[in-house]
């Protein structure tokens, strides 16, 4: 949080909290709430993953889709362990809307890394790097792979 401006973040969290209390719950409010929970954490390790998981579960009911499931798999992995996240992620392996997408491989790499499977993580980071069309993302993913061996 030290790299961010605390006052605008506080104001944003306040606005999201008000919107959640005063309006019909929809996908945009839930996405904003998830972002607000991330913003409130000074470091990634300080993130309230249980709250984020609860918000993703609500989002999956309000606006189900493969990207919601993909993001929910990260939260599941952070709360219940990487294997639980990988199990949820496996439900997307046959989803035509996400098959071949670099983010599926990137999330799998992250969860494999958390599980201690650094060889599998490296393979998935390289696959994600190969699939992305973004040069900065490719460089990042390749650097993650190189850190694994």
- DSSP label at residue 87: H
Q: What is the pLDDT of residue 1?
A: 44
Rounded Cα distance between 93 and 89, Å, is 7
Specify whether 89 is located in the same domain as 138.
yes
Domain end marker among 41, 64, 87 = 64
End position of a domain, from candidates 64, 87, 106: 64
96 vs 11: CA distance, rounded Å: 39
Q: Are residues 74 and 134 both part of a single domain?
A: yes
Closest by CA to 146, choosing from 136, 131, 135, 129, is: 129
In the prediction, which pLDDT does 24 show?
77
Domain boundary among 27, 44, 64: 64
Q: Are residues 20 and 51 in the same domain?
A: yes
What pLDDT was estimated at residue 148? 87
Identify the pLDDT of residue 27.
Answer: 94
Q: Considering the entire predicted model, what is its pTM? A: 0.84
What 3-state class would DSSP assign to 67? Answer: helix
Same domain? For 38 and 103 the reply is no
The reply to whether 137 and 85 lie within a common domain is yes
Residues 128 and 105 sit within 8 Å (Cβ to Cβ):
yes
Q: How many structural domains comprise the chain?
A: 2
- Residue 144: which domain range? 68-149
Distance of CA 106 to the CA centre of its chain: 10
Per-residue pLDDT of the chain (149 residues; tens, 9 = 90+): 455 555 665 665 666 566 556 677 899 999 999 999 998 898 888 999 999 999 999 999 999 999 999 999 999 999 999 999 999 999 999 999 998 999 999 999 999 999 999 999 999 999 999 999 999 999 999 999 999 87
């Amino acid at each position: 949080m030290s790299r961010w401006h605390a006052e605008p973040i506080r104001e944003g969290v306040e606005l999201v909290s008000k919107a959640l209390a005063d309006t019909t719950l929809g996908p945009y409010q839930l996405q904003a709430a998830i972002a607000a929970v991330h913003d409130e954490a000074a470091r990634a390790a300080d993130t309230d993953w249980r709250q984020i998981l609860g918000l993703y579960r609500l989002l999956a009911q309000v606006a189900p889709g493969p990207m919601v499931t993909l993001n929910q798999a990260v939260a599941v992995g952070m709360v219940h362990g990487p294997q639980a996240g990988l199990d949820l992620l496996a439900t997307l392996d046959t989803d035509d809307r996400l098959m071949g997408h670099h983010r599926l491989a990137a999330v799998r790499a992250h969860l494999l890394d958390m599980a201690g499977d650094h060889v599998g993580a490296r393979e998935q980071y390289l696959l994600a790097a190969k699939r992305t069309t973004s040069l900065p993302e490719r460089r990042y993913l390749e650097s993650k792979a190189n850190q694994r061996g």
